[in-house]
Amino acid sequence: MRECLLLVFLAVCSAKPFFGPSYMTLKNMMLKDMEGEDDDDTDADNSLFPTREPINPFFPFDLFPTCPFGCQCYSRVVHCSDLGLSSVPSNIPLDTRMVDLQNNKIKEIKENDFKGLTSLYALILNNNKLTKIHPKAFQTTKKLRRLYLSHNQLNEIPLNLPKSLAELRIHNNKVKKIQKGAFKGMNALHVLEMSANPLESNGIEPGAFEGVTVFHIRIAEAKLTSIPKELPSTLLELHLDYNKISTVELEDFKRYKDLQRLGLGNNRITEIENGSLANIPRIREIHLENNKLKKIPSGLQELKYLQKSQLPKKDQRRNLKGC
């Protein structure tokens, strides 16, 4: 018996913690995000990677941790990527702050898959085969801040997403419309990434962003033929590169007066109506490369905060006329 315990002890001592690429990136990002939280938070330990309890150098993991089979669990982070899973593991520890389930074969998120994970901060489901997420799947994850759903097969924005979300990435799915109320109550949503979806201009329903605060939206590589006019007025960055936009109209930017970065490269723009750019006086960066402009946009010189403007290359604009 003594010899067996000695072997276990030596095996644990020689083991190294699992640090995948996504782990280190997210760890740094989340630690920085956590620094801004109030000190008087009712949660006594609100950090993703707690430091109050020193880690025993001889036992970096619990000797017999509660961890889904095949996964790696460390400091309230559960890594279950690249395991060929067809469903979410059922025994995720309830105090988990991050779950990494990317690169699996999960087709559906069921109602109780994340039940009881009230401290969950980040959920990574990139590169699965998701077609369905139950409307009540996030009912108890009221502290979820980062949700990554890119490279799946979802055809709509999941219903009843947590109002606590600060970042939602649903890049490269099959979303054709953004339904009314899809982001209802999200007053902390800083980043929305929806590129590489077959989304058309009429697919954004009126009221889809009503009452929502978003600072950064990217809908590149889609099927937009015009600039969306009902995105949140709080936008600081809007990226619509690689679409089918042909004209920038006078009314297009009236809602986005605080906009600082605008990406319209690789579209089919032939004209930017006079006065359009005057509606975004705080703009610092504009990308218009690889379009079909016949003249330099009017009002470009009057933008006093503009630091960078990416116009068509010289060989593409040798016939452009100043205005």
Cα–Cα dist 84/87, whole Å: 9
Cα–Cα dist 218/237, whole Å: 8
Residue 191 CB burial class (10 angstroms; 0-12, 13-18, ≥19): middle
- Pairing mode, if any, of strands 108-109 and 122-124? unpaired
Q: What's the pLDDT score for residue 311?
A: 73
Q: What's the pLDDT score for residue 61?
A: 46
Q: What's the pLDDT score for residue 115?
A: 95
Q: What's the pLDDT score for residue 252?
A: 95
Provide the 8-state DSSP code for 300. G
Are 147 and 123 spatial neighbours (Cβ–Cβ below 8 Å)?
Answer: yes
What stretches of 207-270 show up as alpha helix (H) in DSSP? none
Cα–Cα dist 126/308, whole Å: 33
Spans of the chain below 70 pLDDT = 1-65, 312-323
Q: Could you tell me the two tokens for 170? A: 């649903």
Cα–Cα dist 213/219, whole Å: 17
Cα–Cα dist 129/125, whole Å: 9
Residues forming beta bridges with residue 193, ordered by sequence position? 169, 218
In order of their start, the domains of the chain are: 71-145 (3.80.10.10)
The CB-based long-range contact list for 197-201 (8 Å cut-off, 24+ gap) reads: 197/170, 197/171, 197/172, 197/173, 197/222, 198/174, 198/222, 198/223, 199/175, 199/223, 199/224, 200/176, 200/224, 200/225, 201/225, 201/226, 201/228
* DSSP state letters, 60-98: SS-SS----TT-EEETTEEE-TTS--SS--S---TT-SE
Q: What's the pLDDT score for residue 29?
A: 56
> Residues with Cβ < 8 Å from 283, sequence gap 6 or more?
259, 260, 261, 262, 277, 303, 305, 306
This prediction has a pTM of 0.79
Are 211 and 232 spatial neighbours (Cβ–Cβ below 8 Å)?
Answer: no
Cα–Cα dist 125/281, whole Å: 39
Q: Could you tell me the two tokens for 233? A: 């007025």
Q: What's the pLDDT score for residue 73?
A: 95
Q: What's the pLDDT score for residue 301?
A: 87
Q: What's the pLDDT score for residue 235?
A: 97
